[in-house]
Copies of this chain bind each other. A is one copy, B any other.
Amino acid sequence: MNNDSGWMAEAIALGDSARGRTAPNPNVGCIIVSPAGDIVGRGATAPGGRPHAEAVALDQAGAAANGATAFVTLEPCAHLSERGPACADLLIAAEPARVVVALDDPDPRTAGQGIARLRAAGIAVDIGIGADAASASLSGYFTRLRLGRPRITLKLALSIDGKIALPSGESKWITGEDARADAHRERARSDMIVVGRGTYLADAPRLDVRLPGLEDHSPRRALLTRGEAVDGWETLSSPQDVHRLHDVNDLLVEGGSATATAFLAEDLVDRILIYRAPILVGDGKSSFGYFGLDAIADAHGRWAATDSQSLGPDRREVYERVRSIRR
Q: Which positions in A face B, CB cutoff 8 Å?
A: 158-163, 166, 170-174, 261, 264, 272, 274, 277-283, 286-296, 299-300, 302-305, 308, 310, 313, 315, 317, 319
Contacts and interface: CB of A to CB of B under 8 A. Distances in A.
A293 B282 contact: yes
Contacts of A283: 286, 288-291, 293
Contacts of A161: 158, 162, 286-288
A268 to B, nearest CB: 13
Nearest to A288: B282
A287 B172 contact: no
Contacts of A292: 282
A294 B159 contact: no
Given A302-B279, A305-B278, A162 B172 contact: no
19 contacts: A158-B161, A158-B162, A159-B162, A160-B162, A160-B319, A162-B163, A162-B286, A166-B295, A170-B296, A171-B296, A173-B296, A264-B280, A280-B293, A280-B303, A282-B289, A282-B291, A283-B286, A305-B315, A308-B308
Given A160-B272, A161-B287, A166 B294 contact: yes
Contacts of A304: 278, 313
A261 B162 CA distance: 15
B299 A281 contact: yes
Contacts of A279: 296, 299-300, 302-303
A174 B227 CA distance: 38
B172 A303 contact: no
A295 B264 contact: no
A298 to B, nearest CB: 9
Contacts of A171: 296
A166 B305 CA distance: 22
